[in-house]
Every structure is written in C-alpha cells, then in structure tokens.
C-alpha cells in the first residue's frame, strides 16, 4: 500500500514538473517568437506596406507580452488602409483586455475617434468613459472636443433641446480650451463656439483671447479682449499689445493696470508685463527707474525692487539695496536671493561672523532655494577660515550630497580633497546613451518596444516622461533637443539620482568627443567638451545673433585670426575644423592668462581684454573670490556652467 502511494506521488511530481516545464518552454518560445515576428513586422510597417504588415503583426503569439502592441499596430495598418471597422475591432481587443499598460487608454481613444468618424452612436459613450477613467490624461481633454462636435453635428429637433445641446457643446469646447489653450483642437473649438447661438460671458471671451494669444493669433486675441473688461484682464491687454509691437499702447495698459487693477492679477502675469514694460525703454535701467517712480505697494513691487538691486544700482550700494529688499519682503519670492547676496557681501568683506549668522538664517528658511548650494559651500569656507575644520568638511559633504551636480559641488570637492590641481578629471571613458531606465516600465512593454526600436509607439505611450522623450529625440538624431530636454527634466528632480543613473548620459552625452580628444593639444579635453556643450548644445549649425557659428561658437574674425596664426583651412563649415579652431583659440587664451583654465574660460565668453582688466579691478585672493566678483553676469554664469558641466562629465564618465 505504501509502495503504491509512493509510486502515485512520483507520478504527480513528474506530471507537475512536466507541466511547469512545458509552461516555461511555451512562454520562452512565445517571447522569442514574439520578438522576432514583431521586429520583422515593424520593418515592413515602416515601408508603408500596411497590408503585409497587418498580416505580419498577426503572427505574434497570443501569450507574447507584445501581443497588445501588435494589435495596436494592426489597428494602425487597418486605419491606413481605410478599413476603419477592422481597426475598431483590433482596438477593442486591447481595451477589453486586463492590461494595465498605457496602450489601453490610447487604444480606447483611437477607437472612439474611429467610431466618431464612422458616425457610430457609441462614440459618445466611449468618449465619456475615457473622461471618467482617465480624467487627467490628454485623451480626456481631447474627448471634450469630440463630445462638443457630436453635440453640434447631431442637433435635436426640439427648439428647447437645441438650446440645451448648444450649452453642452459650449461647455465641452470651453473645457478643452481651458485645459489645452494651445492644443491641436483649440482654434477649431473657438470656431465652433463662434457658430453657437449663445451670448458669451466676459470670462468666456477671456478664455478664447488667451487661447488665441498662445497660438500666436494676436489680432484675434485683441478682438476678444475688447469684449472683456480692462479690470479683469489688463495684463492680457498689455501682453498682447507688446506682441503686436504696439509699445505705447501696451505701456498705457500696463501703467493703468499698475495704478488701478494690480491686485486682481496673477503675480506671474504682472512680472511678465513688468518685463515687457522695461524692454520698451532704450535701456533697462531707464525702465526700472520709471517703475520705481510709480511707487507700487502690492503685486510686482518686490520684483521691481529685486531688478533694481540686480541691475539698477551701482556696486557700492547693492548691499544696502538687498538688505532693504529682504526687510520689506522677508517671505517674498525674491527674499532667498536677497539674503544670499547679503551673505555673500559679508563673506567677501571678510566679516565672517556676520556672514555666518546670515548663512544660518538662509539655511533654516530656504532648504532648497537656487542659492542654497552656494550658501552651504561658503558656510564651509567660513568654517575653514575660522579653523573649524570638521564643520567645514561637513558643509562640503552636504553640498556634494544635496546638490551633486552644481558648480559648488565641484568647488566643495576641491576643498574637501585638497585638490590643488583644480581640475581633477583629465580623460573620460566613453559610455553610450541608452534607454534611460534599467528597471522595467509599464510591465516591460515600453522597454521591449524600445529594444525593438518602435520609437513612434514608445513616444505615444510615454508623452509625459521627459527622459523617454529625450531618448527618442536622441535616437532620431536631434541631439540638441535631446540634451536640453533631459537637462530640464533633471533640474525638476528635487533629489538628484546617483551619477551612474542612465538619465545623466542623456543630459550630458559625449557627442564629438573623439574629435575633441584629437584636437585637444595641451588642453583638457573635458573642458573643451564642456565649452562645446554650453556654447551650442551639440548643434553644429548653431549661429548666434552676433554672428558666432558652429559647435564652438566662433566669430568669423576670431576664426580667421586662428586660421592665419596656425595655418589651418580658412573655413568653419566642417565639424573638425570648428572644433580644432576652438581648441587652438582656447589654448592661446590659456597661455596668455597664466596657464589657468579659470581665466581662459572667462575670456572665452567675456574677452581676454576684460579678464586682464579684472586682475587689477577685482580685489580677490582665491578662485572663489574671483568668480563671484566677475563684473559681467553673463560671464560669471558662463564660468559656473562650464565648470559645472566639466564636473558632471567627470562623475558620469
């Protein structure tokens, strides 16, 4: 009996192992076959042979994790072949699946649009379902437009019900315009609203005017602004007139708004009007002075005072100006910067205890302000000068931990590790730009599609992921857009990832580094790469308003001078020539400026004459004091950006 039970147990175990093995085999087989078939089908799809591609996508196994993507592609093929009913069927299979991936809402939306085009009554209920299920999505916003179109295209027979239907249509169109004022259907929505037999409120007219403004149709915006009241929308009146080039009229609106209606406007709109007002004067100082004479007491007054401290007053009274600004608006938008400038002023005057008190106050009030890395760094410098060495090191470590990609992290590292060479990195190990996430996204679907180079579908599924959008731009060869998008996305992350995170490579790729390394001469190639990145963001066709061109942004006169001196081809047309000339020019600057990269970087932006003049005009004892007192704000920011980029490159590569 026991033996029989033992045999039965062996049989059960054997069958279980067999079943599991078969399951694993079929899934591995389906996965492998799915990848191969999808890749082949995608190649056909890209040739626009949609009939063959439709059949090829149909060969993806049912249990493949690419099946829903294949159904989506089949629907696209059917749409391209004008077989809308067939496309609806394919989308419906995706929608009815239990998938939690982003391919479901886009499939639902595409299906609803096709049903709308087929004049199928069920389209209305599907658009409503989309709004209910995905209320914050772009698909929900676009669904409002289609619901409005359904109302106007299918009017009821009863006069009473027609009025109600028009009111519904207005709400749908207005909802779309409010959520997507510069969206694809914004102007169409406005045109449909114009056809409705409904009297618009001031607010309705303002919504329409704002949409026209964002779409660059300023004359139409003016038409609808004139149907509103100045008290409600004076900033919009002023901004629109500035866009139309009517500075005098814009200034009239601005001045009246400043005096009578300023408390009714959003601060960001007031700031924008202030910027427009200042730009209408021959010099910015004149514009700031005129605004100060108005003696504003509410919204915008802090911004005017802040601009006055930055640009309007002479160096000798800046400290007093910032002190007054901070005391007037201790919790205002510009208070952190005002307090930082007071702090830095005391530091440069070597009043370390006064600076320390201000630094402690800044740290307590503003943990993550734009000026926070600088304050933490200089608190370390103060501690060191007061011989509190452990405290100094703690501050430097704090900068490296909280603000690892800042210019001040670079300076903190120099001080923490006593790197007298100033530039700790001399060469890089190149690493490729790859898909920005190691971990799976969207149940692996997005990752799999990325591996298969289905960039268009990945782009659609990940519209709100800026890093994936950056990666797609990179894969399509738009390196400038890719780097800028990734850089901006990283700046939005409050706690920065480690430098081995793949997203850093998108923001700081090593384009043209092979050429830079060959042309470096006696220069640090990472510094040259950093200059190239900050000058042109990897756009070889970049051209400034002043006439500087190419990756290294050289003026024609500068290039001619370098070409003649070093006997190189007199053309900026090629990438190697531009980089070689930039390297030679930089090398010349460095040799003329004590062999220091800091001075050469400053001269690359501000001119060698300016830098040699600063040696006598600026009272400084070290690198920090020199950089913080560079008289040209653009050059000071440029130096910090280049050295920050150098630092980040070194940490990534």
pLDDT tens for residues 235-287? 999 999 999 999 999 999 999 999 999 888 899 999 999 999 999 999 999 99
Is the residue at 287 inside a domain? no
| Pair (521, 642) in one structural domain | yes
Is the residue at 260 inside a domain? no
Convert the pLDDT of each residue in 112-135 to its tens digit: 999 999 999 999 999 999 999 999
The last residue of a domain, from among 507, 533, 551:
507
In a 3-state reduction of DSSP, which class is residue 549?
Answer: strand
| Pair (87, 142) in one structural domain | no
Please state the domain count of the chain.
5
| Pair (80, 3) in one structural domain | yes
Q: Say which of 535, 625, 628, 634 is annotated catalytic.
A: 535
Is the residue at 6 inside a domain? yes
Number of alpha helices (DSSP H) and beta strands (DSSP E) in the chain: 35, 0
Task: For the chain, report the end-to-end CA distance as a whole number of angstroms.
Answer: 69
The Cα 202–Cα 541 span in angstroms is 47
Say how far residue 42 (Cα) sits from the centre of its chain: 30
| Pair (104, 141) in one structural domain | no
Within the chain, which residues score under 50 in pLDDT? Answer: 12, 14-30
Is the residue at 314 inside a domain? no
Tokens 């077989």: give the residue.
Answer: 83
The last residue of a domain, from among 102, 120, 138:
120
The per-residue pLDDT for 298 is 86
State the DSSP code for 309: I
The CATH number of the domain where 9 resides is what? 1.25.40.10
The per-residue pLDDT for 7 is 60
| Pair (28, 80) in one structural domain | yes
Spell 181-197 as b/e; 16+ CB within 10 A means b.
bebebbbebbebbeebe
Is the residue at 491 inside a domain? yes
In a 3-state reduction of DSSP, which class is residue 317?
Answer: helix
The Cα 307–Cα 313 span in angstroms is 9
| Pair (583, 522) in one structural domain | yes
The per-residue pLDDT for 17 is 44
The per-residue pLDDT for 232 is 86
Q: Which residues contact 507 (CB under 8 A, 6 or more apart)?
A: 470, 483, 486, 487, 489, 490
The Cα 631–Cα 346 span in angstroms is 18
| Pair (22, 95) in one structural domain | yes
| Pair (530, 641) in one structural domain | yes
Alpha helices (H) in 215-334, listed in sequence order: 218-225, 230-244, 247-256, 267-279, 284-293, 301-307, 318-328
Torsion angle of C-alpha atoms 67, 73, 74, 80, degrees rounded to 10? 180
The per-residue pLDDT for 420 is 59
- Is 286 labeled as catalytic in the residue annotation? no
Is the residue at 534 inside a domain? yes
Is the residue at 266 inside a domain? no
Is the residue at 56 inside a domain? yes
Q: Is the Cβ–Cβ distance between 299 and 267 less than 8 Å?
A: yes
Domain that holds residue 145: 128-228
The Cα 272–Cα 238 span in angstroms is 10
The Cα 58–Cα 72 span in angstroms is 11
The last residue of a domain, from among 456, 490, 507:
507
Q: Which residues contact 230 (CB under 8 A, 6 or more apart)?
A: 237, 253, 256, 257, 261
| Pair (526, 635) in one structural domain | yes
The CATH number of the domain where 596 resides is what? 1.10.530.10
| Pair (546, 605) in one structural domain | yes
In a 3-state reduction of DSSP, which class is residue 554?
Answer: strand
| Pair (533, 581) in one structural domain | yes
The per-residue pLDDT for 31 is 52
The per-residue pLDDT for 4 is 60
Q: Is the Cβ–Cβ distance between 70 and 58 less than 8 Å?
A: yes
| Pair (224, 139) in one structural domain | yes
């Amino acid at each position: 009996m026991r033996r029989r039970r033992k045999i039965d147990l062996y049989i059960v175990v054997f069958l279980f192992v067999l079943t599991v093995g078969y399951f694993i085999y079929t899934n591995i087989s389906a996965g492998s076959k799915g990848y191969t078939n999808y890749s082949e089908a995608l190649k056909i799809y890209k040739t626009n042979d949609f009939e063959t591609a439709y059949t090829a996508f149909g060969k993806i196994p049912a249990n493949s994790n690419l099946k829903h993507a294949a159904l989506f592609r089949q629907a696209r093929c059917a749409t391209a072949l004008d077989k809308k009913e067939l496309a609806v069927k394919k989308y419906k299979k995706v929608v009815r699946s239990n998938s939690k991936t982003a391919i479901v809402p886009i499939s639902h939306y595409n299906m609803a649009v096709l049903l709308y085009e087929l004049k199928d009554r069920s389209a209305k209920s599907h658009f409503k379902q989309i709004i209910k299920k995905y209320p914050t999505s772009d698909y929900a916003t676009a669904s409002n437009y289609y619901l409005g179109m359904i109302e106007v295209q299918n009017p009821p027979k009863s006069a009473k019900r027609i009025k109600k239907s028009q009111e519904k249509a207005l709400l749908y169109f207005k909802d779309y315009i409010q959520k997507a004022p510069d969206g694809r259907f914004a102007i169409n929505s406005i045109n449909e609203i114009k056809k409705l037999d409904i009297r618009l409120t001031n607010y309705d007219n303002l919504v329409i005017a704002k949409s026209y403004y964002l779409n660059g149709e300023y004359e139409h915006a003016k038409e609808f602004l004139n149907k509103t009241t100045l008290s409600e929308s004076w900033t919009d009146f002023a901004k629109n007139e500035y866009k139309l080039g009517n500075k005098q009229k814009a200034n009239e609106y601005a001045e009246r708004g400043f005096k009578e209606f300023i408390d009714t406007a959003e601060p960001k709109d007031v700031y924008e009007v202030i910027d427009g007002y200042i730009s209408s004067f021959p010099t910015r100082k004149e514009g700031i002075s005129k605004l100060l004479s108005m003696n504003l007491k509410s919204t915008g007054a802090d911004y005017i005072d802040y601009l006055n401290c930055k640009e309007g007053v002479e160096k000798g009274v800046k400290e007093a100006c910032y002190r007054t600004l901070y005391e007037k608006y201790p919790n205002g938008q510009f208070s952190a910067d005002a307090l930082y400038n007071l702090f830095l002023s005391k530091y440069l005057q070597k009043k370390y205890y006064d600076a320390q008190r201000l630094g402690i106050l800044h740290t307590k009030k503003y943990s993550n302000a734009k000026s926070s890395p600088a304050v933490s760094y200089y608190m370390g410098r103060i501690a060191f000068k007061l011989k509190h060495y452990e405290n100094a090191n703690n501050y430097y470590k704090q900068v490296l931990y909280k603000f690892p990609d800042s210019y001040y992290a670079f300076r903190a590292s120099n001080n923490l590790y006593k790197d007298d060479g100033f530039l700790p990195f001399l060469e890089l190990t190149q690493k490729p730009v790859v898909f920005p996430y190691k971990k799976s996204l969207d149940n692996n679907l997005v990752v799999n599609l990325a591996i298969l180079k289905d960039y268009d579908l990945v782009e659609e599924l990940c519209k709100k992921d800026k890093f994936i959008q950056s990666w797609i731009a990179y894969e399509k060869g738009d390196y400038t857009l890719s780097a800028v998008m990734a850089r901006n996305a990283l700046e939005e992350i409050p706690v920065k990832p480690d430098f081995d995170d793949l997203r850093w490579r998108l923001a700081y790729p090593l384009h043209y580094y092979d050429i830079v390394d060959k042309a470096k001469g006696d220069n640090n190639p990472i510094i040259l790469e950093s200059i190239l990145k900050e000058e042109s963001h990897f756009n070889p066709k970049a051209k400034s308003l002043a006439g500087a061109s190419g990756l290294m942004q050289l003026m024609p006169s500068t290039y001619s001078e370098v070409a003649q001196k070093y006997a190189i081809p007199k053309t900026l047309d090629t990438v190697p020539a531009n980089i070689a000339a930039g390297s030679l020019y930089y090398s010349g600057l460095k040799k003329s400026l004590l062999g220091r990269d800091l001075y050469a970087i400053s001269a690359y932006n501000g001119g060698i004459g300016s830098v040699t003049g600063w040696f006598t005009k600026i009272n400084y004892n070290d690198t920090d004091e020199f950089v913080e007192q560079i008289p040209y704000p653009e050059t000071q920011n440029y130096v910090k950006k280049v050295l920050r980029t150098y630092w980040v490159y070194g940490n990534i590569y």
